[in-house]
Chains A and B, each alone.
Chain A
Amino acid sequence: MTFELGILFLAAVAYLLVLFLIAYAAERGFIPSAVARHPLTYVLSLGVYATSWSYYGSVGFAQTQGYGFLAIYLGVTLAFALTPVLLMPILRLTRDFQLTSLADLFAFRYRHQATGVLVTLFMLVGILPYISLQILAVTESVRALTQAATPTALAFGFCLTLIVFAILFGARHASARERHEGLVVVIAFESAVKAGREAGGP
């Protein structure tokens, strides 16, 4: 099944607009808090863990390693099993001392600004290849769907959209008390769409 690049682009823009609208509605309180703060919304928002690359990676890994591909998901499940030991103390620490990032947490723990800078640099170096893989996954998907050459303009547009989204709904409120409701709701919506698509079959 192939699509016209233009149609695919319009569909992507329309979907992104829907996501922006949902995030905006959640931030402004148009979505009832019974929905926005429902445990199911938070559970669905954990779907952010399953990125486009993990989708491709898991399929390939399952083909070669069998059930071994589940390890990455079981690991995070076990991390949540340790919530009272592992996650809750960190959450309390960040709430009590208004720490907003991992760099903050380390700088607070080791009482030195240089530690925070170092952690930020390590995270940047660690995350860049991962983000590149995400962009590659999106462009490869577009190429597979349109049978066109790698649309670099689309990849660039995807990067710009990511930046705008991160600024508007992520980094704009750098406060430990901030719940990032817009971001949580929109990721939950995305996970629901993905789960619905998977449940729908091929």
Chain B
Amino acid sequence: MAFRPENSRSVDSAVLLFLLGLFLFFSPFTFWWAGAATVWYLPYLLWLGLIGLIAWVAHRSPHDI
């Protein structure tokens, strides 16, 4: 079975984004910002920012399916 070599940069970016998402939403840091949140839409802003970053990384990655 011949797998094409992955673009290591896009893999690195994907894993970093995943870790960033975990850190933001599923870590003790989450309780800190959720407790200190001054506006109700802060989680949605962070979520939107994460989606934007994912879209940007996906757009830069090669589309060789």
The verdict on A81 contacting B43 (CB below 8 Å), with A88-B65, A92-B4, A92-B65 known, is no
Please report A residues at the B interface, Cβ cutoff 8 Å: 67, 70-71, 73-74, 77-78, 80-85, 88-89, 91-92, 95
Q: Which residues of B contact A73 (CB under 8 A)?
A: 47
* Alpha-carbon separation in the docked complex, A70 to B51 (Å): 14
Q: Which residues of B contact A82 (CB under 8 A)?
A: 14-15, 18
Main secondary structure of the interface of A (DSSP, over half): helix
* Alpha-carbon separation in the docked complex, A89 to B26 (Å): 26
Which residue of chain B lies nearest to A94 when distances are taken between CB atoms in the complex? Answer: B65
* Alpha-carbon separation in the docked complex, A25 to B51 (Å): 31
The verdict on A91 contacting B18 (CB below 8 Å), with A77-B54, A83-B58 known, is no
B18-A74 in contact (CB<8A) = no
Please report B residues at the A interface, Cβ cutoff 8 Å: 3-4, 6-7, 10-11, 13-15, 17-18, 21-22, 25-26, 34, 43, 47, 50-51, 54, 57-58, 61, 65
* Alpha-carbon separation in the docked complex, A92 to B6 (Å): 11
Minimum-distance CB pairs A-B, first 10: A81-B17, A78-B21, A84-B10, A84-B14, A81-B18, A81-B54, A74-B25, A84-B11, A82-B18, A82-B14
Query: Whole-angstrom distance from the CB of A135 to the nearest CB of chain B?
Result: 30
Query: Whole-angstrom distance from the CB of A40 to the nearest CB of chain B?
Result: 11
Other than the given A71-B25, A73-B47, A85-B15, 14 more pairs (CB < 8 A) read A77-B50, A81-B14, A81-B18, A81-B54, A82-B18, A83-B14, A83-B54, A83-B58, A84-B11, A84-B14, A84-B61, A91-B65, A92-B3, A95-B65
* Alpha-carbon separation in the docked complex, A71 to B26 (Å): 9
The verdict on A77 contacting B3 (CB below 8 Å), with A83-B14, A84-B61 known, is no
A80-B6 in contact (CB<8A) = no
Q: Which of B11, B14, B61 has the most CB of A within 10 A?
A: B14
Q: Which of A70, A84, A85 has the most CB of B within 10 A?
A: A84
